[in-house]
Amino acid sequence: MSGHDGADPQARGCEALLAVIGNPVLQSRSPLMFRAAFAALGIQGNYVRLAAESAQQALATAVSAGITGMNVTAPFKEEMARIVDEIEPCARRVGAVNTVRVCEGRTEGHNTDVEGVTQALVRHGVPLCGGEAVVLGTGGAARAVVAAIVGQGAQVTVVGRNVGKAALWAPQLGAAVAPLEDQSLRAILPRCVLLVGCTTAIGRLVPRDALRPELAVLEAQYAKETALAADARSVGCRVIDGRDWLVYQALAAFRLMTGRDGPEDGMRQAVYGVAAGDLGPTKRSILLVGFMGSGKSTVARELQAITGMRLADLDEQVEQRAGMPVARIFETAGESGFRQMERDALEGLTQQAAAGCIVSCGGGVVLAEENRAWLRANGVVVWLWADPTTTSERVGDGQQRPMLHGSDREVRVRTLLRERRARYAEVSDLMIATEGTSPKRIAERIVDEIHRTYDHLR
Ligand code: S3P
């Protein structure tokens, strides 16, 4: 594995862009931790939540968007382990990757969950040597936990719905396998010192009467309180919050991605400082941003079809106000005149946005700080990403797009994208990879992400 040089985009003269991928991903608090670390260390960087259909699509997007590091969450950790160009020995043994570095188009997979979970248990003084433990779940996170606690001398049983899936990897890591049945849990758990929940289920999987106060319970899920955490607390178990694990795996990932040590306390405060699902009562709208040709108008119409929400197209608002098409505004008032009208038009949508609507924004809306503040305050901001080559093809001869007049179109697209990328990243709650995904599917994914994370937008 190469050293850290080359992984730091700042060293190469551009602003770092990192991401977390998963499905769902909007609930992830990784951006809060990484942004806090950037601010504390004075690093010019951004961190986004990237919604992709597969680990493969996420990697392609990372390469085309200049994302140099990714945190990987469910359900992509195992697929990622199979497709990265290089894999570090611990991640290979675990069979799951939760951290990817992208250097010069090559991808390298790591697993910092192993270190993260170990540190979280150490912090809470859970003694494992010789003790028994149950790991609930059969995915990539469960694999890392098993590797970590078997490594500390625990006797581990992996319990899951899909016993066949667990049987493929658990024995190799030194763990036994049992089916997710009340009976087997009642038989195993009384002997255990630790139970780790690594599923995405919120509902009850473990019968409450199988829990005893002597048991320590680590629940990986932190976005919503699970039945396991609630039951464990009511029985008097020591419950270790998944956010502790999150912080320690992030510290290790931050080191890999930037070559620097992140501020542990600052990152912990960032992740504990927000209430579950808290977007604030003002975020009622879905605001689409992204470069020209990224599919904003088409996706906005699909979103309208699914949600029935009102739709406003910012360019159309500007045109209505000015009584002429965008290209003509550029001719008569120049770009600065257009930008002023765009700011006014956005401001004019404030009431509508407070009531809840979809806004398809012009590609340059993120250039003005006032607009960025407006976007952040008024809705869930979704950044549609398309590859520069696809973008150039979609915008055709660029006649209707004054920003593309003049020199070679693809070069112009690449230049503008480079200039704007950080501004899109800065405002977005969610970045969506659009390559090879239909507009309908993209809209469905946006709605699904929002519904799973923010109940008030239902
Ligand atoms: C612009 C994008 C256009 C339009 C204007 C300026 C830009 O909107 O607002 O031509 O600066 O990127 P679309 O992104 O909807 O094409």
Q: Could you read off the pLDDT of 349-360 as tens digits, one per residue?
A: 999 999 999 999
Region 262-271 average pLDDT: 96
Atom of ligand 1 nearest to the CA of 360: 15
Count CB-CB contacts under 10 A for residue 198.
Answer: 27
Q: Which residue has tokens 């038009």?
A: 345
* Contact criterion met (CB below 8 Å) for 128 and 154: yes
Q: What distance lies between CA 311 and its chain's CA centroid?
A: 26
Under the banding of pLDDT at 50, 70 and 90, the label for residue 449 is very high
The verdict on the CB of residue 205 being under 6 Å from ligand 1 is no
* pLDDT for the residue numbered 457: 52
Atom of ligand 1 nearest to the CA of 293: 16
Q: What distance lies between CA 47 and its chain's CA centroid?
A: 9
* pLDDT for the residue numbered 14: 59
The verdict on the CB of residue 356 being under 6 Å from ligand 1 is no
- Which of 163-172, 240-249, 410-419 shows the lowest mean pLDDT across its residues? 410-419
Write the residue with the smallest CA distance to atom 16 of ligand 1: 292
pLDDT reading at 116 higher than 80: yes
Write the pLDDT tens digit of every residue in 396-423. Answer: 776 778 888 877 888 889 999 999 999 9
- The residue whose CB lies within 8 Å of the most ligand 1 atoms, and thus the one to mutate among 331, 346, 403, is 403
pLDDT reading at 346 higher than 80: yes
Region 100-104 average pLDDT: 95
What is the distance in A from the centroid of ligand 1 to the CA of 156? Answer: 56
pLDDT reading at 152 higher than 50: yes
* pLDDT for the residue numbered 177: 97
* Contact criterion met (CB below 8 Å) for 76 and 82: no
* Contact criterion met (CB below 8 Å) for 137 and 105: no
The verdict on the CB of residue 364 being under 6 Å from ligand 1 is yes
CA distance 89 to 82: 13
Under the banding of pLDDT at 50, 70 and 90, the label for residue 452 is confident
Active site residue 283: no
The verdict on the CB of residue 388 being under 6 Å from ligand 1 is no
* Contact criterion met (CB below 8 Å) for 366 and 376: no
Under the banding of pLDDT at 50, 70 and 90, the label for residue 394 is confident
pLDDT reading at 205 higher than 80: yes
Write the residue with the smallest CA distance to atom 10 of ligand 1: 401
Region 275-297 average pLDDT: 78
pLDDT reading at 109 higher than 60: yes
Under the banding of pLDDT at 50, 70 and 90, the label for residue 218 is very high
* pLDDT for the residue numbered 282: 54
Region 29-43 average pLDDT: 96
* pLDDT for the residue numbered 274: 65
Give φ, ψ of 237 to 5 degrees.
-70, 155
Helix (H, G, I), strand (E, B) or coil at 147: helix
The verdict on the CB of residue 423 being under 6 Å from ligand 1 is no
* pLDDT for the residue numbered 140: 94
* pLDDT for the residue numbered 5: 37
- Work out the percent of the chain whose per-residue pLDDT is above 70: 94
* pLDDT for the residue numbered 407: 72
What is the distance in A from the centroid of ligand 1 to the CA of 410? Answer: 16
DSSP letter string over 388-435?
HHHHHHHTTT-TT-GGG-SS-HHHHHHHHHHHHHHHHHHH-SEEEE-T
* pLDDT for the residue numbered 1: 35
Region 266-289 average pLDDT: 77
pLDDT reading at 119 higher than 80: yes
Counting every residue written for the chain, the total comes to 458
Atom of ligand 1 nearest to the CA of 395: 16
Under the banding of pLDDT at 50, 70 and 90, the label for residue 453 is confident
What is the distance in A from the centroid of ligand 1 to the CA of 121? Answer: 51
The verdict on the CB of residue 290 being under 6 Å from ligand 1 is no
- Spot the catalytic one: 77, 165, 224, 440: 77
Write the residue with the smallest CA distance to atom 11 of ligand 1: 364
* pLDDT for the residue numbered 370: 98
The verdict on the CB of residue 420 being under 6 Å from ligand 1 is no
